[in-house]
Amino acid sequence: MNRICLDYGHGGSDPGAVYKARCEKDDVLRIGLAVASEVRRHGVLVDETRTTDSTLSLKNRSDMENKKTYDYFISIHRNAFKPEAAQGVETFTYINQTEKAKSLADKIQKELVAIGLRNRGIKKANFHVLRETKAPAVLVEIGFIDNTQDNKLFDNKFNEIVEGITKAILLQLGVVYKGLTQSPPASNNQTLYRVMAGSYSIRENAENQVAKLKKSGFDATIMIFKP
């Protein structure tokens, strides 16, 4: 069975990059938990280096990964440079990258660029979590936290980002992605009950509601109705 390790950068006393009271540690935990939920829905085993706002050293993260055998190790971050000076997504592999790591990095980068993030390319780096982990490893920087446009895209297209990363991982693992837009057909004697959590005329409000539901552990999706 496929097994991956997801790593959400920083946490606890280490906020990561901060801009206007927005912390990298919070953004990556939020999106990472959502990705983990989606990947698990497809039958993939997922371990996470943290699931709460807890402090972990780089060694804690690599030590955890080294205890088991994983198909891939994926570290999720947000970038920073100078306020409003840089934007976009970039995905890193170790300087002596494996073909598997490069292939996964390509897939993640392609999905996130398609969503609207500027393409900063695939890069190599000597980061600890890429160097000291056994599995093919990638580190993705999902936009710049010190860029207003990247933050708007991160918030407004949160679900699409989650879906894009999930699709990239599953494609790399050879698992077919199954969307949540269709309900299973009912048999002649079966009644299905749909639960709605609001209707919105503005898509952004609908996306925010879906994000809240998923954060609380509920599967949710947007269904479009035209009167």
Residue entry with tokens 């709460």: 52
Residue 210 is predicted with a pLDDT of: 74
- CA 99 to the chain's CA centroid: 21
Does 53 share its domain with 84? yes
Does 17 share its domain with 69? yes
Cβ-contact 160, 115 below 8 angstroms:
yes
If one counts the domains in the chain, the total is 2
Does 168 share its domain with 184? no
Residue 88 is predicted with a pLDDT of: 98
Give the residue numbers spanning the domain of 220. Answer: 180-227
Which pTM was predicted? 0.80
Residues 6 or more apart whose Cβ sits within 8 Å of residue 14? 25, 55
Residues 6 or more apart whose Cβ sits within 8 Å of residue 13? 55
Does 36 share its domain with 94? yes
Does 34 share its domain with 122? yes
Does 96 share its domain with 184? no
- Of residues 200 and 155, the one with the higher pLDDT is 155
Residue 176 is predicted with a pLDDT of: 97
Q: How far apart are CA 9 and CA 161, in angstroms?
A: 17
Confidence bin at 15 (pLDDT 50/70/90): very high
Q: The domain that contains 155 carries what CATH number?
A: 3.40.630.40
Does 148 share its domain with 199? no
Cβ-contact 3, 44 below 8 angstroms:
yes
Q: What is the arithmetic mean of pLDDT over 58-78? A: 98
Q: How far apart are CA 104 and CA 133, in angstroms?
A: 16
Does 79 share its domain with 134? yes
Strands 45-48 and 3-8: parallel
Does 11 share its domain with 97? yes
Does 49 share its domain with 153? yes
Does 163 share its domain with 190? no
Does 60 share its domain with 155? yes
- Of residues 15 and 205, the one with the higher pLDDT is 15
Residue 226 is predicted with a pLDDT of: 52
pLDDT, tens digit (0-9, with 9 covering 90-100), for 72-88: 999 999 999 999 999 99
Per-residue pLDDT at 169 exceeds 60: yes
Per-residue pLDDT at 13 exceeds 50: yes
pLDDT, tens digit (0-9, with 9 covering 90-100), for 118-163: 999 999 999 999 999 999 999 999 999 999 999 999 999 999 999 9
Residues 6 or more apart whose Cβ sits within 8 Å of residue 44? 1, 2, 3, 4, 169, 170, 173, 175
Q: How far apart are CA 194 and CA 109, in angstroms?
A: 35
